[in-house]
Copies of this chain bind each other. A is one copy, B any other.
């Protein structure tokens, strides 16, 4: 009996000690505190970068920034996450939906003079396959490399822009494509657009030899001035750059697609 009692006593003591020792490691409280202590600086840093880069992105989209050549280095991950995650597509879808609702609300004249202007790059066609190989804006723009990509003619359609494009055409708008691409890329651009599902536009306006050296704002304003002189009414305008939308002969309403990757003055 004595031996049995000693057995039981020792078993209990062992268990108790074991239990207590283990508890000090495994009780959720210290585990969580440790977790927070270890990661707090990282979390804080992460939150701070998120906040700063969201602020930067707002400044981009509200056109508050001076011309910029690269995204801020600390926002590299943020921008990539925004593009490859849900944010970018959600923003694009919202712009297209709003533009579609507006297009439907317009009473078109019966003279065929109501126009919707679309920019091409990052508005109808996506160059993300190119920018994913170039740090999503973290590298300075390389026109030689980018031209090679354009000449492939394989840029995919931005799906919700294609839907909007078809919608405004079916509503009876004339569609003018006004792009900063050079006239020498005319053929490949037509081919690329058609392969991506865009058909039935009325004009494709590219940068001619006289237009080189002009800012996009100037070039596009001049072309819009001509539209107005020809009696067209610019009812809607979609572009990912403010230089697609601002200047003279502005559209009744403009739709700014998101673009935190590059800036064109």
Contacts and interface: CB of A to CB of B under 8 A. Distances in A.
A220 to B, nearest CB: 16
Contacts of A55: 87, 90-91, 94
A243 to B, nearest CB: 13
Contact of A51 (B3, B54, B87): B87
Number of copies: 2
Nearest to A87: B51
Contact of A28 (B31, B64, B258): B31
A111 B56 CA distance: 36
Given A10-B10, A14-B15, A15-B15, 14 more contacts: A6-B7, A7-B10, A18-B18, A22-B26, A52-B90, A54-B87, A55-B91, A55-B94, A56-B94, A57-B58, A64-B94, A64-B99, A66-B102, A246-B250
26 contacts: A3-B3, A7-B7, A7-B10, A10-B11, A14-B14, A15-B15, A15-B18, A18-B22, A19-B22, A22-B23, A31-B31, A51-B86, A51-B87, A51-B90, A54-B54, A55-B87, A55-B91, A56-B94, A58-B91, A58-B258, A59-B91, A59-B95, A61-B61, A61-B62, A65-B98, A66-B98
